[in-house]
């Protein structure tokens, strides 16, 4: 491999001649050979948006030549096409401030800009300087948390929320369709009073409504950007009004209502916005776990389980048992939920470990957050398209379970009292008889009275024909 020589304040470093990164990127690449998790590309793209906005803000503030700002912008636009992804090789497990990834972006923009301007990578003097031009009015301490919030807000709006809403809407359609399908309820995994399958599904819809509301509520804090706080939040080396100008430009570039953080000390020293948004994702994961597990158990069988609903049969389920089909979409989404909850634990530890003027767990926190947000979005869509959309009731099983349930006796409480109703249930269970037979044999109700009082249609809280 051919190399060229780059330098930083610590001296000279050999860099692959075909790469645009510089000395600090190479040092990080050499010093942090930890795992294979690269800095998420969403962060790189967020940096490109930020660097473009910062260049024009600096120009507007009179501290950067407009031609340099345009050159920086041109490189950022190319980064955003995805054609330069290989120029960002650094792993997540680096400095906790994300400084090396900030410098990776700065160096790539500076070198690529110089080449775009007609220069060569091995020129001693270049059109752009990574610190003095690309990083002007900035510190890694305010750029990295800004990139975190941009990336987090975008993935929630573009992937997590729309895909979770898709699942929510399908569940709502099923709820309406199944509203008059009477089935037996279950509490403590034991028979309970009847409800409808639609009512059961309406609970799932409400869970997702509340979860999505929690996610949306977290966007407000994420919209506050740290940029302009500089090293510790005081704004050292930052021109007046730069923070407001750059936030406005980022908002214009993204179409998202970003604004400058109300307190820069908070936005550098903590990552509470990410902690809050991760907590919202955890809430959504908890709901999804409950919903998926219900569907797993309701569809169990096909002959020896509950079997009250059919789910699509997508692929063979066993390498040894012919004809077996498993609830694989349920298994996938519940594994995702477990991962999201684990990610949130790591994020919480990172969030609580910020010290003095800077939190230094930022790369880990945003890596886990983006992982969670992406996984939930993809899992919701897969679960929707390959499972929920095809759910249908198994009426034979549903009706059989309703007819066999002892808890229909609950309807008699207000007529013959709790203790007499319990006698009927116990006798029916012990002697393997129907509730009707037990009630008549105990002399507590006639056949006609039993039919009038014990009617599942009258026990579900809605009018059913």
Cα separation of 142 and 151, whole Å?
14
Residues known to be catalytic: 188, 318
- Sequence-distant (6+) residues with CB within 8 A of 445 are 412, 416, 439, 453
Neighbours of 426 (CB within 10 A): 13
**Separation of CA 387 from chain center:** 20
Helix/strand/coil (H/E/C) assignment for every residue in the chain? CCEEEEEECCEEEEEECCCCCCHHHHHHHHHCCCCCCECCHHHHHHHHHHHHHHHHHHHHCCCCCHHHHHHHHHHHHHHHCCCCHHHCCCECCCCCCCHHHHHHHHHHHHHHHHHHCCCCCCCCCCCCCHHHHHCCCCCHHHHHHHHHHHHHHHHHHHHHHHHHHHHHHHHHHHHHHCCCCEEEEEECCEEEEEEEHHHHHHHHHHHHHHHHHHHHHHHHHHCEECCCCCCCCCCCCCCCCHHHHHHHHHHHHHCCCCEECCCHHHHHHCCHHHHHHHHHHHHHHHHHHHHHHHHHHHCCCCCCCCCCEECCCCCCCCCCCCCCCCCHHHHHHHHHHHHHHHHHHHHHHHHHCCECCECCCHHHHHHHHHHHHHHHHHHHHHHHHHCHHHCEECHHHHHHHHHHCHHHHHHHHHHHCHHHHHHHHHHHHHCCCCHHHHHHHCCCCCHHHHHHHCCHHHCCCCCCC
Which letter, b or e, does each residue of 214-248 get, where b requires 16 or more Cβ atoms within 10 Å of its Cβ? Answer: bbeebbebbbbbbbbbbbbbebeebbeebbebbbb
* Nearest by Cα to 172 from 333, 384, 393: 384
* Residues 208/124, Cβ–Cβ less than 8 Å: no
């Amino acid at each position: 491999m051919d190399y060229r020589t780059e330098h930083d304040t610590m001296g000279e470093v050999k860099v692959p001649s075909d790469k645009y990164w510089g000395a600090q990127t190479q040092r990080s690449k050499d010093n942090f050979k930890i795992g294979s998790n690269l800095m998420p590309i969403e962060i790189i793209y967020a940096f490109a948006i930020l660097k473009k906005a910062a260049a024009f803000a600096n120009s507007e503030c009179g501290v950067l030549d407009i031609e340099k700002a345009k050159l920086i912008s041109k490189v950022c636009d190319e980064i955003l096409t995805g054609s330069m992804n290989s120029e960002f090789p650094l792993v997540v497990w680096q400095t906790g401030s994300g400084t090396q990834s900030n410098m990776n972006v700065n160096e790539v923009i500076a070198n690529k800009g110089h080449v775009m301007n007609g220069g060569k990578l091995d020129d001693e003097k270049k059109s752009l300087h990574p610190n003095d031009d690309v990083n002007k009015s900035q510190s890694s301490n305010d750029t990295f948390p800004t990139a975190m919030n941009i990336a987090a807000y975008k993935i929630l709006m573009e992937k997590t929320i729309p895909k979770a809403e898709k699942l929510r809407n399908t569940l709502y359609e099923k709820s309406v369709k199944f509203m008059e399908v009477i089935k037996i309820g279950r509490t403590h995994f034991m028979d309970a009073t009847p409800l409808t399958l639609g009512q059961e599904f309406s609970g799932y819809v409400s869970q997702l409504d509340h979860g999505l509301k929690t996610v949306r509520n977290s966007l407000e804090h994420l919209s506050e950007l740290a940029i302009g706080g500089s090293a510790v939040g005081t704004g050292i080396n930052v021109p007046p009004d730069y923070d407001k100008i750059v936030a406005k430009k980022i908002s214009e570039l993204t179409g998202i209502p970003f604004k400058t953080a109300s307190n820069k000390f908070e936005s550098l020293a903590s990552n509470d916005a990410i902690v809050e948004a991760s907590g919202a994702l955890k809430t959504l994961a908890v709901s999804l776990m409950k919903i998926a597990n219900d569907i797993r158990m309701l569809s169990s069988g096909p002959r020896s389980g509950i079997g009250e609903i059919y789910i699509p049969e997508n692929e063979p389920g066993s390498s040894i048992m012919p004809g077996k089909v498993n609830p694989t979409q349920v298994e996938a989404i519940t594994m995702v939920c477990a991962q999201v909850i684990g990610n949130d634990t790591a994020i919480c530890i990172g969030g609580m470990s910020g010290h003095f003027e800077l939190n230094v767990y930022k790369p880990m926190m945003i890596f886990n957050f983006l992982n969670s947000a992406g996984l939930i979005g993809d899992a919701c869509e897969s679960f929707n398209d390959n499972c929920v959309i095809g759910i249908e009731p198994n009426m034979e099983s549903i009706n059989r379970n309703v007819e066999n349930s002892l808890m229909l006796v609950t309807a008699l409480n207000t007529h013959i009292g709790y203790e007499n109703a319990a006698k009927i249930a116990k006798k029916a269970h012990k002697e393997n008889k129907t509730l009707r037979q037990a009630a008549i044999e105990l002399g507590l109700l006639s056949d006609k009275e039993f039919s009038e009082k014990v009617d599942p249609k009258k026990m579900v809280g809605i009018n059913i024909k």
